[in-house]
Structure 1
Amino acid sequence: MRQWNIGVYFSLRFQEIAGALDSSLADANITLVEDSHRNRDCQVTLTLKQSFALLESLRTCWSEEVFIFTCSDKFFRLSLQLLSRYSTWLSSHLVAKNACSSDSSSNSERAINKPVEDFIYVMHDVGFLVAELSGDYLEHVLCRLLESCSSEVLDLVRRGFLQAIRSLTDYLPILKDRMVEGISERSVEDLKQLKGISATYRMTSKLPVRHSPYVSAILRPLKTFLDDERVAYLSKELKNELLHSIAERITSRYHEMASDVVNLARKTESSLLRLRQGAQRRAGASSDAMDSNISDTDKICMLLFLDIQEYGRNLAIFGIQASHITAFRSLWQLVAPEDRQAQISF
């Protein structure tokens, strides 16, 4: 091939390879690959159209039919650009997922409406791509196509690829946190019923004898998530990490909301007590009889204590020991009676 044709050749290949990936990444939605793609041996473990397009484009760069040694530096640069574009798509998608619902962009609105469980596909594909590209793919590039280069050049190429590939792993903690946040927020909807406890036990002599109905629903979103067929794409280790992270986040919110209820009850009770004592002093009456009654705060704490014991038993169903969660220990200290403070048991 003449020298003056090499630039034209690479330009055409660039448009072909980069264009195919750009076309796939133009869709802000998480899009599953078609069944025909799933049946291809090299792609059997990828789930998303965007991930499939990236790996296809990267492999095309260094295939025997496309690669020419004279353009090795250009194909190397193109490979890094492809990884960067995929990384940008991941970043943009996560931003869109977390954007305000008033965003006028139709792509952002579609992304927002996607369930957080779809991030399982992204986490799976990123993990697969990192393993594949830093393993067999990189060795293919170095050993088969760049074997004529010096060891110094090979080392630079290796480090360049690994740096670009590892940048993908930076999104895994973000994806995990998005999933934990999304699932736990569903549980918060049931926890909002805590606000009604104060009204139920204010100005009444009735004492709680069983836990509140809302407790049984708190962990329902977690169970629904674990029963979802998409969870099969998670490794056992990652599934366990998500399980414990979601439980910890829910328990933390539980503690925050219960603290608000108890603190508000105490402030309200303190204000009412001062008013009553002032009225009694003016009337010359004794406050002994009133002081012997069980306070509203005590009744609220009694109910919350029943609630968190049931919540702890429900956590145990998922294999989680409530006493190992810092927020649960704080919750226990908040509402448990004095003779039960020392040890968490239910």
Structure 2
Amino acid sequence: MPVETSIWRIGEKVEKVPFVPLALESKLQQALEQNLSILDPGLMLVGKQVRTENNKFIDLLAIDPDGELHVIELKRDLTPRDVVAQALDYAAWVRKLGREEIAQLYADHHGGQSLAEGFLQTFDLPLPDVLNAAHNLIIVAAEIDPATERIVQYLVEYSVPINVVFFRHFKVGQDEYLVRSWLIDPDQVAQQAEQRPNNKKRQPWNKQDYYVAFGERSWRSWENAVQYGFVSAGGGRKYTRPLETLQPGRRVSVYIPKTGYVGVGIVTTSATPIKDFTFVVDGVPRTAKEMSFVASEALHDYDDPEQSEWLVGVDWQQVRPRTEALSGGHLFSNPTIVCQLRDESTLKALAEHFPKAFGDGEGADAAD
């Protein structure tokens, strides 16, 4: 079962915030249509109420930066078992969609805009050559019964990429909040799906390592990132949203374009606008405006979280000067800002170049 989530308000006394049942077919669907990052920061909406060949309608169809499709179904008034069967039925149709059909669906639901254009605007990446090499099923519910939970867990065990996400709706005065939890760790679902005998599209992920592209600009300096312990992105939510996939405890290998890999560290904080990020200097917490930056425009759009820099705290395990960066055409690199690092040869090279970060060096400082 998912972990039960409760919220307490701390004031003159501690009060539990009441859970308010949410009409999934209304507010939640609207929220998901407006911002799919509620589910996953790496999703772009292809269409809502997408008609299948059997004249049924998928609530939401999305695509991720790898070109994989995601079928998102709200439980509504269906019995739990029926919604699982319905999701599987939709998957049987979705798996047959080709590039032209996906592009047409997107155009139909976005006023004729091309899929390639929408993909570039959302992810700042060209549309992959291969689309729909795999697909994923997400059921959105307030709760499910034990039998349905067993069915979903069984399907995942046998490499069906299905999961259930639960939303709780809390209200405090005029403010409303959504709290999300998953039935099964999404990384576990992805890992199980990759074990299918016919899945040859990419190497498995170790559930630990991420690649981060760190583009240096007049508002972003590697020296500051090392000095203060962070990685960052800015200039729009399509650039900063990928940082939200980095959660504390994950390992990041940082790549400066046209230079190479320069550092490896462990994530310590979730993504935060620079205005809200806490810098710690000699044990003293400070705000960005109290800091000194090499990058002259580090505080650009300071009061605008849509455009400002967003930072993720990093405990650097080992860094190298640019002149000693790990580089070469055989190494993995990607124009996307954050992605899972799967390439085994790159991970092996990183372990050799940054031994302290990969457990092969002890008792030394992070910076060489």
Q: TM-score, normalised by structure 1?
A: 0.29
The structure number with the bigger radius of gyration is 1
More strand by share: 2
More helix by share: 1
